[in-house]
Amino acid sequence: MREKALKNPKGITEEKLELAEGISERGESLTRIFYRRFKKHTLGKIGAIVLFILYFIAIFADFLSPFSMTWTDKRKSFHPPTPIHFFYSKNGRKIFKPFVYEMKIKNIAFKKYAVVPEYTLRAISIEPLPEVNELRSVATDSSATARKRRIMRDVSRKYSLSPGSPVLKRLSETIDKLEASPEKDKTVVFRVGEKKIGNREHVPLELLLVKGNKNFLGFFFKGIPYKFWNLFQTRIHFFGSPTGGYFMSGTDQMGRDVLSRLFHGSRISLSIGLLGILISFTLGLLIGGIAGYFGGVVDVFLMRFSEIIMSFPAIYLLFALRASFPPNLNSIQVYLLIVVILSFVGWAGLARIIRGMVLSLKNEEFVLAAKAMGLSHLKIIVRHILANTVSYVIIQATISIPRYILGESALSLLGLGITDPQSSWGLMLSVARNTRIIKDFPWILIPGFFIFFAIMAWNFFGDGIRDAVDPHSRHQ
Amino acid sequence: MKNKKLYFATFILDILLILLLTVSGWNVFASIFLVEILMWLVRLIWISPPLLLFILRRLGHMIPIILSVVAIGFFLIQLAPGDIFSMMAMNPDIKQETLERFRRAFGLDKPWYVQFFKYIWNALHGDFGYSELFKAPVFTLVSQRAMNTLLLAILSFILAWGFSIPAGIICATNQYKWKDQLLSFFAFAGMSLPNFFLAFLVIYFVSVTGNWLPIGGMYSINIDEMNAIGRFFDLVKHLIIPVSVLAVAVTAQLTRIMRANMLEILGQQYVTTARSKGLHERVVVYRHALRNAINPMITIFGFQLGSLLGGAALVETVLAWPGLGKLILAALLAQDLYLVVGSLIYGVAFLVIGNLVADILLAIVDPRVRLS
């Protein structure tokens, strides 16, 4: 009785006492320990945040990009990034209303753009179906009748309207009213008619008539249609202008929005690392495990094979492997092929190290115990031996992902990887192989910065993971 | 040293061989290079027999690797649809018979393993085939391009080592101070910057600031009008961008490794001993710590050669440098079989010999390492 009172003077349970003294029996789980250690690593945390943002962009690329991946306007090739003006002066008062100026090509040879005049009239019709080119008619004529004639002509051509059609008559009236209105910048929605698309009976065909040279920006605007995750169709984009003309990072040689392609390209560029790691580490672990566990002829054969692969300069082997497949594959095949090639080049080094680890592990008593229990070889290798290399594998996986991102962009840059109309960061940079283009249109280098940030973030994150998982390792 | 006279006789043999090669039409520098390597290998009989044995064993080890590289090259090209004459086949002016004759002359009518053994047999006789793409013998073509790549690689290595060793020392001796933080940040950034992208950035910078450096290529157009000194400076100007672009990533990596090595060595007990003896800090760092910290760097040399060659392939293509990487890419795209295999062999030989050189250097620098 006395002893118990001594041990537990104030009625505190034993468990609480132990916790207070820091000798809890229960212990932390491994992941909790890793997480606690990782939180102390500032750079690792920065890396994790940047990676979160990048992968978030990749996942919601459709919604976040102001246009779609394949949206093209041939008259807007190498359109410079449009600066945002935040304040709009209305009746002499400045109000907060962000907008960009609509620009038109002035010099076709040098791709010089200039802001269109204030009296410009535009007609923008957005098709209700994705991947269908819309009408963007810009009338910059100085006389109002010429402007009207141009718009009417373009609209009637687009919808194949006969000259006497009532729609054109309505359009003419609307344009007159718009031109006569005292406001400098005004947008009206003109309803052309209805269309039957699939099982939807009455899909309105709408036309935006825009007076003035400004495109007002907004969040959650209605832009060109797209299929979100290939599930449902919508026109809502995160940020941009419903009347177009807003290119935050310019356009490329074919007049495609760089930002949208950048966002869509991140899907390929960022996922290739994860998928590649998955395949090459499975290969490396299995081959290294088998070579180390069985030894003998199997070991010699597998290790010689990995030696041969390692004695190639990696890029040369990548080139040779890619060139040995037909060039005209479709986009999914190319994507998978690149993943497989990158993984095939990447497994050898890991397999050799894993083999070394397995050699030292396979004579341990727990392996003997597993053997005595009659487990199959594969089960022993995977569940008992390879399970002990987990911390090493986690570290290696995070620090090898940049290699895959780099490999993909290098292949795409040289025209051996992802091809148009798909998008990847390396492919977008391939335009820059022309020196004159870099000088005149430097914004096409933006994808390079994203490659840089992604690799840097993975490096930081990998550093943090290493400190968390293996705090005694040498920091190289 | 036994047979001292014979040893000195080898030096005379040196001069004789160089003269012989030069007279028979070789480049002076190439013959000096070749003869010196060969003769120093011979002289190893007297200097260090175990080292010679080690080198010979490693070179012998190369043979199966080279053979498999050739086989893989043949196999991969065989997998690809079409061959070098596929483009010609689309030309309606060329008759089918002519095409067949071309293919037969190139040896393409036989199965790949027959081509493989024939290639090996010819290669043993010094014939590495003929490149249809460049209309030149593969050996001369590849050797010339490989020398250009080697020039890039060696210069950027010198630059990288020259920068990274002092940088690593500064980082380690000022750990967690602003100098260390700054250099470490640059090292991290340099490691993450893809070299082709860096090349683009440099091109942009140079072309915006008025083209004060040539961006791309190896020679100016008017190279024929220049004298020897003018040509040398022209080459140096053309080297600046590719060498510095390639050196950045290597420098960054080496700086981090050097920093880590130095930190580890500075924590060792013998450094504390040296300090407690009252030695000057400079002596402790440079005499005691530095020499031990450099050893792991040499081991990494071999690995880095591989990544440097890979990086060089990209930078060469972007900057139009006539090197091995650019050559192999062109050869692969045109399916020029012998050129592909020839450049693959060269690339692999570079890597293997680079590793060998690293091992030899390590053995020379660190007496604790045994060659076995």
pLDDT tens for B119-154 read: 888 888 878 888 888 888 888 888 888 888 988 988
Mean pLDDT, rounded, for A159-187: 85
- Type and span of the H or E element at A211: strand A200-211
pLDDT at B26 over 70: yes
pLDDT confidence of residue A277: 94
In the numeric block, which tokens belong to residue B116? 């493989």
pLDDT at A46 over 90: yes
Least confident range of A21-25, A294-298, B180-184? A21-25
Q: How confident is the prediction for chain A on average, in pLDDT?
A: 86
pLDDT confidence of residue A24: 53
Assigned superfamily of A263-469: MetI-like (1.10.3720.10)
Q: What are B29-68's pLDDT values in tens digits?
A: 778 888 888 888 888 888 878 888 888 888 888 888 888 8
Q: Please state the pTM of the whole predicted model.
A: 0.88
Chain B residue numbers with beta carbons less than 8 Å from the beta carbon of A51 are none
CB B196 within 8 A of CB A451: no
Mean pLDDT, rounded, for B302-327: 85
Least confident range of A76-85, A116-125, A191-200, B354-363? A191-200
pLDDT confidence of residue A475: 46
Q: Say if A314 is an interface residue toward chain B (CB within 8 Å).
A: yes
CB contact under 8 A, B194 and A452: yes
Chain A residue numbers with beta carbons less than 8 Å from the beta carbon of B348 are 311-313
Placement of tokens 């067949």 in the chain? B100
Chain B residue numbers with beta carbons less than 8 Å from the beta carbon of A342 are none
Q: Say if A328 is an interface residue toward chain B (CB within 8 Å).
A: no
Q: Report CA-CA distances (Å) from B359 to A236, B58, B98, B300, B355.
A: 62, 10, 52, 10, 6
pLDDT confidence of residue A425: 94
Q: What are A302-357's pLDDT values in tens digits?
A: 998 898 888 888 888 888 888 888 877 888 889 999 999 999 988 998 999 999 99
CB contact under 8 A, A308 and B69: yes
CB contact under 8 A, B200 and A429: yes
Q: Say if A475 is an interface residue toward chain B (CB within 8 Å).
A: yes
In our burial notation (b when 16+ CB lie closer than 10 A, e otherwise), range A89-114 reads eeeeeeeebbbbbbbbbeeeeebebe
CB contact under 8 A, A455 and B335: no
Mean pLDDT, rounded, for B189-197: 92
Long-range contacts, stretch A237-242, CB < 8 angstroms, 24+ apart = A237/A63, A237/A64, A237/A65, A237/A66, A238/A60, A238/A63, A238/A64, A238/A65, A238/A66, A239/A64, A239/A66, A240/A66, A240/A67, A241/A66, A241/A99, A241/A100, A241/A215, A241/A216, A241/A217, A242/A208, A242/A218
The total number of structural domains that make up chain B? 1
Mean pLDDT, rounded, for A418-438: 89
Least CA distance to B254: which residue of chain A?
Answer: A476
Q: Say if A412 is an interface residue toward chain B (CB within 8 Å).
A: no
CA-CA distance, A64 to A262, in Å (whole number)? 11
Confidence grade of residue A5 (pLDDT, cut at 50, 70, 90):
very low
Give, rounded to a whole angstrom, the gap between the first and last alpha carbons of chain A.
59
pLDDT at A34 over 70: yes
Domain presence at residue B1: no
pLDDT confidence of residue A244: 84
CA-CA distance, A230 to B73, in Å (whole number)? 41
pLDDT confidence of residue A199: 72
pLDDT at A472 over 70: no
Confidence grade of residue A476 (pLDDT, cut at 50, 70, 90):
very low
Q: Say if A424 is an interface residue toward chain B (CB within 8 Å).
A: no
CA A473 to chain centre: 33
Least CA distance to A461: which residue of chain B?
Answer: B188
In 3D space, the residue among B301, B317, B300, B298 whose CA is nearest the CA of residue B195 turns out to be: B317
Q: Say if A452 is an interface residue toward chain B (CB within 8 Å).
A: yes
Closest Cα of chain A to B286: distance in Å?
A: 21
For the residues of B106-155, what is the DSSP string, one character each?
HTTTS-HHHHHHHHHHHHHTT---EETTTTEEHHHHHHHHHHHHHHHHHH
ipTM, two decimals: 0.87
pLDDT confidence of residue A392: 87
Least CA distance to A405: which residue of chain B?
Answer: B194
Q: Which of A307, A315, A442 sits opposite B313 (nearest CB)?
A: A315
Confidence grade of residue A2 (pLDDT, cut at 50, 70, 90):
very low
pLDDT at A26 over 70: no
Q: Say if A312 is an interface residue toward chain B (CB within 8 Å).
A: yes
Residue B238 belongs to domain spanning: 139-365
Chain B residue numbers with beta carbons less than 8 Å from the beta carbon of A410 are 194, 196, 314
CB contact under 8 A, A414 and B329: yes
Domain presence at residue B247: yes
CB contact under 8 A, A414 and B69: no
Closest Cα of chain B to A236: distance in Å?
A: 34
Confidence grade of residue B363 (pLDDT, cut at 50, 70, 90):
confident
Confidence grade of residue A17 (pLDDT, cut at 50, 70, 90):
low
pLDDT confidence of residue A1: 43
Chain A residue numbers with beta carbons less than 8 Å from the beta carbon of B204 are 438-439, 442, 445
Q: Which of B335, B340, B348 sits opposite A312 (nearest CB)?
A: B348
Least CA distance to A432: which residue of chain B?
Answer: B200
CB contact under 8 A, A314 and B257: no
Least confident range of A77-91, A121-135, A279-293, B185-199? A121-135
- The beta strands (E) that lie in chain B are given as 130-131, 136-137
Q: Using the 8-state DSSP alphabet, how is residue A196 labeled?
A: E
pLDDT at A463 over 70: yes
Least CA distance to B65: which residue of chain A?
Answer: A308
pLDDT at A13 over 60: no
Q: What are B233-259's pLDDT values in tens digits?
A: 888 999 999 999 999 989 999 999 999
Closest Cα of chain A to B11: distance in Å?
A: 35
pLDDT confidence of residue A25: 56
CB contact under 8 A, B188 and A452: no
**Between A20 and B168, residue with greater pLDDT:** B168
Q: Say if A270 is an interface residue toward chain B (CB within 8 Å).
A: no
CB contact under 8 A, A445 and B201: yes
The CATH number covering residue B151 comes to 1.10.3720.10
Q: What are B69-86's pLDDT values in tens digits?
A: 888 888 888 777 777 777
Give, to the nearest 10 degrees, the angle between helix A314-323 and helix B337-365: 160
Q: Say if B204 is an interface residue toward chain A (CB within 8 Å).
A: yes
User: For strand A135-139 and strand A121-125, is the pairing parallel, antiparallel, or unpaired?
Assistant: antiparallel
pLDDT confidence of residue A163: 82
Chain A interface mutation, best of B63, B68, B74, B197, highest count of A Cβ atoms under 10 Å: B197
Q: Which of B257, B263, B309 sits opposite A313 (nearest CB)?
A: B309
pLDDT confidence of residue A28: 73
Q: What is residue B203's three-state secondary structure?
A: helix
Least CA distance to A308: which residue of chain B?
Answer: B65
Confidence grade of residue A225 (pLDDT, cut at 50, 70, 90):
confident
Q: Which of A316, A435, A476 sits opposite B257 (nearest CB)?
A: A476
Closest Cα of chain B to A324: distance in Å?
A: 4
Confidence grade of residue B202 (pLDDT, cut at 50, 70, 90):
very high
pLDDT at A172 over 70: yes
Chain B residue numbers with beta carbons less than 8 Å from the beta carbon of A474 are 260, 264
Domain presence at residue B342: yes
Domain with CATH 1.10.3720.10 in chain A: 263-469
